[in-house]
Amino acid sequence: MTDKKIFGVTALFNDPNAIIAAARKVASSGFTKWDVNSPYPIHGIDKAMKMKPSKLGIVTLIFGLSGAALALILMWWTMSVDYPMIIGGKPYFSLPAFIPVTFEITVIMATLSTVVAMFAFFFGLPRNSHALHDTDYMKKVSRDHYGIVIEATDPNFDEKATLQFLKDLKPLSTEIIYHSEKETYPIFEPRFIGLLLGVAVVVSIGTYLMLNKLMYIVPFDWMDKQAKVIPQSGSEFFADGRGMRLPVEGTVAKGFIPYPFEGQTNPTEVLSNPYFPTKESLELGERKFLTYCSPCHGNYGDGDSRLAGQFPNPPTLHSDRARSFSDGMIYHIITVGQNVMPSYASQVTRDERWAIVNYIRALQRAKNATDSDLNFVKAE
Amino acid sequence: MSTDYSVEAPVVGGRLTIAQIEELVAKPMDTKPDKKFFLALTISGTALLIGAVCLLYTFYYGIGMWGNNQPVSWGFGIVNFVFWVGIGHAGTLISAILFLLRQRWRTGIARFAEAMTIFAVMCAGIFPIIHTGRPWLAGYLTPYPNQHGLWVNFTSPLVWDVFAVSVYFTVSLVFWYTGLIPDFATLRDRTTSKIKKTIYSIFSLGWRHSSRHWLHYEKAYVILAGFATPLVLSVHTIVSFDFAVSIMPGWHTTIFPPYFVAGAIFSGFAMVVTVLVFVRKIFDLQNIISIDHLEKMNKVILATGMMVGYAYSMEFFIAWYSGVQFEQFVFINRAFGPYAWAYWIMVSCNVFFPQLFWFKKIRRSIPAMIVIVLLVNVGMWFERFVIVVTSLHRDFLPSSWGMFTPTLYDAGILLGSFGLFFTLVILFTKALPVVSIAEVKAVADGAQPTHHRGEHHD
């Protein structure tokens, strides 16, 4: 008995009038760490216990107002800044149309914060390990009795004197409550850890199946497999087995200019560069070079892209052979392709091709600069 | 039959002591379910299963299985949605509005009505999601940062709906659970079963019935009720915006928000009475859910029924008074067109039959009230049917007029929603206290100190 730590002493009553009178006496005797337990709120117990009114409303106010502000800011930002769209002729920031959502967010923030704050911060719940649990006292006040508990942590507490003080209030019975002897942490029990592991495994397998298997099963793959002709794919509908239709014979695309040098190896004598290497031309050439050429030839034309070694190595553009090409020859290679390099005619327009040629020339010059070139820089 | 209205009837009849109240309410949880329970569960479960099968067919083949088509593109899906959301409103009205109005008779029915709110909103929530055709993409309805750079359209009533219904469900659930916590603690302390004790302990959060906690708890309850009151009004208002914000004749009217809210309370009370009449009999709760309480609910049904009737006539008046040809046509077509039968079912069930509640004898007679509230349930479902179908089936262009023919799958899913609702209700009656133990104890005779009585009533 002596090694048990005392939690407090309790007294039980079965008359609401008696508990009010008893609470008044305890409150006026200078105790601070004490409480009244009852199966339902008793009218007037707050005054008898000299409790201050609840300040819970402050939490509600703060979170309710923040909810309203957050909702309005979200709607203003999404509807007028991030993705502005005119809908129904309304302005981007259409306050009347934003009222319903603002109201709902205010309500949910205010109510959830109030309840969570009350249980978690005002009461310190959930807490099933409190010393009062599983006592006869708790079972009685849970049903139809009213009880007073004075805790041992109260500065005025003295086991015998306080017990006598409670007995003088003429309760039905009194009881001394002890802390339970040893604290148990069922969280660390092997069975509980096993359960957690089991849940983790089930959830992982479930997630895997959902994402990797379920999405390929009818009807979840209907977004992926649709009854329509996919470009470049075949179709049994047409006699020629093609999904896409060929243009009518003799059709000429808009803006089409024939390229008469197809199949020739070196049409240099006729093809000459119509553009000077102006700043604009070089900038355009750089952009297009970085988009279409650099993936194989490298950012500076060194043939050092990440494709090197995986493919027939893309050649450097700074070899003597490449440097000896005329402008027209480079243009011709871009247009019709060479070895494994395909034609880029459909991706890069003629003007852009000439701009790329100018840019390659600039690269070649820069990569093979001589000391005398510094004189130009110095002269400027 | 000698009811004296000049004195307030006792909230808890039969001079029950506090302990007796607890025994009575906790009895279904202490005893094993009997045959009748399983019979009821089988019936509702069958209905639920039929709905589930119809729903699976719909998921597999798409909503072409339903009767929805042009011009009536909003068929049963939206009718059922509005119907079930409406049913839910009575619970919040009873638990929040009557709480703020200090109506002590609400204590006996509040818990059950709140549970019905939650179950009805669950039924309602299914319908807009399945009506989208691809329910597995419902996540797109929430505004979240995504790689498409897209946001939901916050100026659309359909998005307001998403917010209103989900907030309503969450707040109702929190309100309900907050009320349940002291009862979980009471059940925890009275049970002898170890498993039950563990479950109740977890859900009671270790509640200790402390007066220092009760102080904040009562404050929180007032705050929650204060928020739930405008919330419940906002939800059906926003549901009515789905219609009123459009430019369809028959929908585009400013009377819709109050008209919908009154109709929601009307249908919700009818459903609460329908279920409570059986629950109080089966669980022997006649003293806690007394005939006086049922009579008060019947009065609410009478009052809201007349509000709904007023709305029906006002719609007609405005159609004539506005001078808009299309509006006039829609209303004449409603009452005398091909869907006149639906219109007159609605008017007779919602306006004429509830008038019988003017008679005290009928108001206090269980068989009569069962018949009338069932008629009201039917009438209110038809009200939504009339609003959705008759407005759409003949709009501006006579060349695109058509009729709406629901399919068996439509009917099966509607049946399934009733199955879901009643399955949840039946499981609830056995799993949780159907009456708030703490609240009813607090209003029992002799539960409060005598010198405080009269000083401040609540």
Q: Is the separation of the CB atoms in B437 and B182 below 8 Å?
A: yes
Size of interface A-B (CB pairs under 8 A): 203
| CA A267/CA A258 separation, integer angstroms | 15
What is the share, in percent, of chain A residues with pLDDT greater than 90?
25
ipTM: 0.90
- My answer on whether A172 and A285 are in the same domain is no
- My answer on whether A43 and A170 are in the same domain is yes
- Report if pTM > 0.80: no
| CA B290/CA B8 separation, integer angstroms | 13
Q: B387 in helix, strand or coil?
A: helix
Single-letter amino acid, residue A223 = M
Residue A252 lies in a domain: no
- My answer on whether A175 and A318 are in the same domain is no
Q: Compute the mean pLDDT over every residue in chain A, rounded to the nearest whole number.
A: 86
Most confident of A198-212, A227-241, B142-156: A198-212
Q: Is the separation of the CB atoms in B390 and B337 below 8 Å?
A: yes
Question: Using the beta-carbon criterion (under 8 Å), do B241 and A56 form an inter-chain contact?
Answer: no
Task: Output the pLDDT for position B1.
Answer: 43
| CA A101/CA A117 separation, integer angstroms | 24
Number of structural domains chain A divides into: 2
| CA B119/CA B124 separation, integer angstroms | 9
Residue range A1-21, pLDDT digits in tens:
446 788 888 888 888 888 888
Residue range A131-168, pLDDT digits in tens:
888 888 888 888 888 988 888 888 888 888 888 888 88
Q: Which residue has the higher pLDDT, B103 or B374?
A: B374
Largest CA distance in chain B: 76
Cβ atoms within 10 Å of A155's Cβ, excluding its own: 8
Q: Which residue has 């099966």 as its token pair?
A: B412
- Non-local (6+) Cβ contacts of A221 within 8 A are A215
Contacts of A133 in chain B (CB under 8 A): 201, 206, 208
Residue A259 lies in a domain: no
Opening angle at CA B290, ends B286 and B294, nearest 5 = 125
Single-letter amino acid, residue B109 = I
Q: Compute the mean pLDDT over every residue in chain B, rounded to the nearest whole number.
A: 88
| CA A167/CA A26 separation, integer angstroms | 12
Q: What is the mean pLDDT of residues B355-381?
A: 92
Q: Is the separation of the CB atoms in A335 and A347 below 8 Å?
A: no
- Non-local (6+) Cβ contacts of A325 within 8 A are A333
Question: Using the beta-carbon criterion (under 8 Å), do A101 and B212 form an inter-chain contact?
Answer: no
Task: Output the pLDDT for position A231.
Answer: 84
Half-sphere exposure of A161 (CA within 13 A, CB side): 8
Residue A214 lies in a domain: no
Min CA distance, B151 vs chain A (Å)? 7
Of A125, A159, A188, the residue at which a domain comes to its end is A188
> CA torsion sign, B116 to B121 to B122 to B128?
positive
Cβ atoms within 10 Å of A248's Cβ, excluding its own: 6
Task: Output the pLDDT for position B3.
Answer: 60
Residue A271 lies in a domain: no
| CA A73/CA A220 separation, integer angstroms | 36
Cβ atoms within 10 Å of B419's Cβ, excluding its own: 22
pLDDT higher than threshold 70 for residue B374: yes
Residue A201 lies in a domain: no
CATH number at residue A352: 1.10.760.10
Q: Is the separation of the CB atoms in A263 and A332 below 8 Å?
A: no
Nearest CA in chain B to A18: B449
Of A128, A161, A188, the residue at which a domain comes to its end is A188
Q: Is the separation of the CB atoms in B438 and B217 below 8 Å?
A: no
Helix pair angle (B157-190, A95-116), 10° resolution: 10
From chain B residues 20-59, the ones with a CB under 8 A of any chain A CB are 22, 59
Residue range B422-441, pLDDT digits in tens:
999 999 988 899 888 888 88
Residue range A282-336, pLDDT digits in tens:
999 999 999 999 988 988 988 888 887 777 888 888 988 888 888 888 999 999 8
Domain containing residue A35: 1-188
> CA torsion sign, A159 to A160 to A161 to A166?
positive
Across-strand partners of A168? none
Residue A371: pLDDT band with limits 50, 70, 90: confident
Question: Using the beta-carbon criterion (under 8 Å), do A87 and B210 form an inter-chain contact?
Answer: no
What is the share, in percent, of chain B residues with pLDDT greater than 90?
53
Q: For residue A253, give the nearest of A349, A336, A337 by alpha carbon.
A: A349
Cβ atoms within 10 Å of B361's Cβ, excluding its own: 9
- My answer on whether A17 and A164 are in the same domain is yes
Residue A105 lies in a domain: yes
Residue A51 lies in a domain: yes
Of A188, A212, A237, the residue at which a domain comes to its end is A188
- My answer on whether A157 and A286 are in the same domain is no
Continuous segment of H or E residues that includes residue B371: helix B366-385
Please confirm whether the linkage preceding A126 is cis (ω < 30° from 0): yes
pLDDT higher than threshold 70 for residue A185: no
List the single residue in A37, A79, A127 with the smallest CB-CB distance to B209: A37
Give the DSSP letter string of B153-222.
-TT-HHHHHHHHHHHHHHHHHHHHHHHHHHHHHHHHHH---HHHHHHHHHHHTT---BHHHHHHHHHHHH
**Which among A63, A82, A132, A143 is the top mutation candidate for probing chain B, defined by the most B β-carbons within 10 Å of its own β-carbon?**
A143
- Non-local (6+) Cβ contacts of A45 within 8 A are A19, A20, A23, A36, A38, B211, B214
- My answer on whether A19 and A154 are in the same domain is yes
The per-type count for chain A, helices as H runs and strands as E runs, is 13, 4
Task: Output the pLDDT for position B4.
Answer: 66
Q: Does B151 reach chain A within 8 Å, measured CB to CB?
A: yes
* Alpha helix (H) residue ranges in B1-106: 18-30, 35-61, 76-92, 98-100
- My answer on whether A179 and A322 are in the same domain is no
- My answer on whether A11 and A150 are in the same domain is yes
Residue A215 lies in a domain: no
Structure-token pair, residue A309: 């070694």
Burial of A256 (0-12, 13-18, 19+ CB in 10 A): exposed
Question: Using the beta-carbon criterion (under 8 Å), do B446 and A16 form an inter-chain contact?
Answer: yes
Task: Output the pLDDT for position A199.
Answer: 96
Cα B338 versus chain centre, distance: 30
Q: A143 in helix, strand or coil?
A: coil
